[in-house]
Structure 1
Amino acid sequence: MNVTLWIAAGLLGAVALAGGISKTFIPKARLAAQHGGEWTQNASIGFVKTLGVLELLAAVGLILPAALDIAPVMVPVTAASWIALMVGAMITHGRLGQSKFVVLNAFYLALAALITWGRFGPWSFDG
């Protein structure tokens, strides 16, 4: 199960990194023109960039604390925070009728829930 949790964290970290890079560095108008990015039309640039930075921090928080053995409790804390982010993403995409993205975000939420449960519970890094 430990390997499964590392794979889940790696996958979620890659998703967070890709999303963070796009929201932080791609212009809002270009994001809004892409399928799935329509939500950015009604969001401020600051909000989009803030989400991007939070996703970049999540990418770091899902891997580095455990890999470096520096505050590894941050891995499940980050995963729990990702759950909240995915709930918001699911609501946003649901309001736009983008059911494919709701399902994709639900999958990411499930990965984050698995990591949260496993790393706070039986496969924590402290034991």
Structure 2
Amino acid sequence: MNVVLWIVAGVLAAVFLGSGLSKLAQPRKKIVDSGMGWAEDFSDGAVKAIGALEVLGALGLILPAVFDVAPVLVPIAAVGLALVMAGAAVVHARRKETPMVVANLVLLALAVFVAWGRFGPYAF
């Protein structure tokens, strides 16, 4: 199960690192034009903040455990990312973007799985 948790955490970290960096690197207008219409409902600062949270969460899923420095941060990062995905699911549901809601719920479930495993029976 430890290997499964590492794989899931690695996949989540890759997804959130890519997503977060794209939000940080691109202007909001370009994000909206690329098909992420939700960004038009948020300010530039809010989109950058979401990107920063995703990057920090991605790093928090991996680095504390790899370097064995405060590994309790791994499940805390997973909970944080689950909260981000819960908020994203609400935003997409209000916009009636069903496929995005499903994607958000899948990522939320994976983050909760990592949090459960790392807080619970498979803690570091």
Same fold (TM over 0.5): yes
Q: Distance in 2 between matches of 1:39 and 1:112?
A: 22
Match of residue 23 from structure 1? 23
| TM-score, structure 2 normalization | 0.98
User: Partners in 2 of 1:92 and 1:46 — Cα distance?
Assistant: 17
Q: Report what 1:32 is aligned to.
A: 32
1:30 Cα offset (Å): 0.7
- Distance in 1 (alpha carbons) for counterparts of 2:42 and 2:77: 24
Equivalences for residues 1-127 of structure 1 within 5 A: 1-35=1-35, 37-125=36-124
Aligned-pair distance for 1:96?
Answer: 1.0
Residue deviations 1:53-99 (CA, integer Å, cap 9, x gap): 11110111000000100000000000011111111000011111111
Aligned-residue sequence identity (percent) comes to 47
Query: TM (normalized to structure 1)?
Result: 0.95
Displacement, 1:115? Answer: 0.4
Structure 2 unaligned residues grouped into runs of 5+: none
Q: Tell me the distance in 1 between the aligned counterparts of 2:40 and 2:108.
A: 24
Structure 1: gaps of 5 or more residues: none
Count of residues in correspondence between the two structures: 124
